[in-house]
Amino acid sequence: MNTLTWNQTIKDGQTIVSSGGLFELGFFTPKNSTNRYVGIWYHKIRPQGVVWVANREYPVKDSRGLLKIGEDGNLVVLDGSEKAIWSTDSSFISTRTTAVLMDSGNLVLREENSKNNSEIILWQSFDHPTDAFLPGMKLRISTKSKNRFLTSWKNSSDPAVGTISFGTTGSNSDQLWLWRSSVSYWNGTLNDSQFEKISENDTNNFFFSKIGNGDEAYITYFSTQNLTRLVLDVNGLLSLLVWRTGFWWRVWYLPKPLCTFESCGPYSSCSFNGAYYLVGVNSGNDYRTDGPCACITNFEPVSQEAWELGDFSGGCKRKTPLQCGKEEDGFYPLKNVKAVVPTSAFEAATAESCRTECLSRCSCNAYAYTNGSSAGIISCLIWDGSLRVFTGETKIDPSDIFVRIDASEIVTNRRLCQNCGIHAIPYPLSTGPNCGDPAYRNFKCDDSTGYLTFNALDSSYAVNKIIPEMRTIVIKWDSWNFDSCYAKNNNSDIQLNPSLPFHMTSNNTIFMFNCPSPLRSSGTDCNSSSLCPMIMLDKMQCFSSMRTCCSYIAGKSSSTLHRIGVLNTGCEFYASVHNDLIRLPASDWSYGVEIGWESPLEPFCNLPKDCEDWPHSACMPERSGTGNRKCICISSFRWDPLVGYCTKERSWTRRSLSVIIPVTTIVGLLFLGTISRWWRGKMFKENGRIADKFRGNGKEELDVPFFDFRSIAAATENFSDSNKLGQGGFGPVYKGKLSGGQEIAVKRLSRTSGQGLEEFKTEIILIAKLQHRNLVRLLGCCIQGDEMLLLYEYMPKKSLDYFLFDQNHRKFLDWEKRFTIIVGIARGLLYLHQDSRLRIIHRDLKTSNILLDDEFNPKISDFGMARIFGGNQTQANTNRVVGTYGYMSPEYALDGLFSTKSDVFSFGVVLLEIVTGKKTTSFYHSENSFSLLGYAWRLWSESKGSELIDPLLVNEARSDVKDVIKCIHLGLLCVQEDATDRPSMASIVTMLTSETMDLVTPKKPAFFIRESLLTQSSSSGPDNCSKNELTASMLEGR
Q: 238, 255, 272 — which closes off a domain?
A: 255
Same domain? 438 vs 382? yes
Q: Cα–Cα distance between 24 and 14 in angstroms, integer?
A: 10
Residue 590 is predicted with a pLDDT of: 61
Domain hosting residue 841, numbered range: 799-1033
What is the DSSP code (8-state) at residue 126? G
Q: Cα–Cα distance between 591 and 477 in angstroms, integer?
A: 6
Cβ(961)–Cβ(946) under 8 Å?
A: yes
User: For the stretch 71-89, what's the b/e string if a residue is b when 16 or more beta carbons lie within 10 angstroms of its beta carbon?
Assistant: ebbbbbbbbeeeeebbbbe
pTM assigned to the model: 0.43
Same domain? 810 vs 751? no
Same domain? 193 vs 225? yes
Cβ(339)–Cβ(389) under 8 Å?
A: yes
CATH number at residue 68: 2.90.10.10
**φ, ψ (nearest 5 deg) of residue 159:** -80, 5
**Residue 158: partners with Cβ closer than 8 Å, 6 or more residues away:** 30, 33, 35
613 within a domain of the structure (yes/no)? yes
Q: Cα–Cα distance between 482 and 60 in angstroms, integer?
A: 40
Helix, strand and coil content of the chain, in percent to the nearest 5, comes to: 20, 30, 45
Q: 735, 765, 794 — which closes off a domain?
A: 794
Cβ(186)–Cβ(177) under 8 Å?
A: yes
314 within a domain of the structure (yes/no)? no
Residue 881 is predicted with a pLDDT of: 61
Same domain? 152 vs 79? no
316 within a domain of the structure (yes/no)? no
Strand partners, 371: 378
CATH number at residue 166: 2.90.10
Helix, coil or strand: residue 632: strand
Q: Cα–Cα distance between 287 and 310 in angstroms, integer?
A: 7
Same domain? 244 vs 333? no
Same domain? 516 vs 644? no
Would the CA dihedral through 746, 749, 753, 759 be positive or negative? positive
* Beta strand 366-371 pairing with 451-455: unpaired
Helix, coil or strand: residue 461: strand
What is the DSSP code (8-state) at residue 833? I
Task: Calculate Rg over the CA atoms of the chain.
Answer: 32
Q: Cα–Cα distance between 760 and 817 in angstroms, integer?
A: 32
Cβ(797)–Cβ(854) under 8 Å?
A: yes
Cβ(402)–Cβ(383) under 8 Å?
A: no
266 within a domain of the structure (yes/no)? no
268 within a domain of the structure (yes/no)? no
CATH number at residue 380: 3.50.4.10
Query: What is the count of structural domains for the chain?
Result: 7
What is the DSSP code (8-state) at residue 483? T
| Closest to 342 (Cα-Cα) out of 366, 318, 306 | 366
* pLDDT tens readout for residues 480-499: 544 444 444 444 788 898 88
Is the N-terminal amide bond of 1002 cis, ω within 30° of 0? Answer: no
Residue 911 host element (H or E) = helix 900-916
Same domain? 10 vs 64? yes
Same domain? 339 vs 378? yes
Same domain? 847 vs 957? yes
Same domain? 874 vs 987? yes
Tell me the H-state helices in 378-451: none
Residue 547 is predicted with a pLDDT of: 54
Cβ(780)–Cβ(791) under 8 Å?
A: yes
CATH number at residue 848: 1.10.510.10
Same domain? 783 vs 894? no
471 within a domain of the structure (yes/no)? yes
**Separation in Å, CA 990 to CA 344, 581, 753, 969, 987:** 61, 19, 39, 14, 5
Catalytic residue from among 131, 835, 844, 903? 844
Q: Cα–Cα distance between 705 and 37 in angstroms, integer?
A: 33
Cβ(284)–Cβ(47) under 8 Å?
A: yes
Same domain? 1006 vs 874? yes
| Closest to 934 (Cα-Cα) out of 1017, 983, 1030, 1006 | 1006
451 within a domain of the structure (yes/no)? no
269 within a domain of the structure (yes/no)? no
Active site residue 844: yes
Residue 858 is predicted with a pLDDT of: 92
pLDDT < 50 positions in the chain: 192-194, 196-203, 273-290, 394-395, 481-491, 544-546, 585, 651-661, 675-676, 678-691, 693, 695-701, 871-872, 924-927, 929, 1008-1038
If 0-12 CB within 10 Å is exposed, 13-18 middle and 19+ buried, where does residue 279 land? buried
CATH number at residue 723: 3.30.200.20
Residue 325 is predicted with a pLDDT of: 66
Q: 772, 794, 816 — which closes off a domain?
A: 794
Q: Cα–Cα distance between 981 and 966 in angstroms, integer?
A: 17
Residue 535 is predicted with a pLDDT of: 64
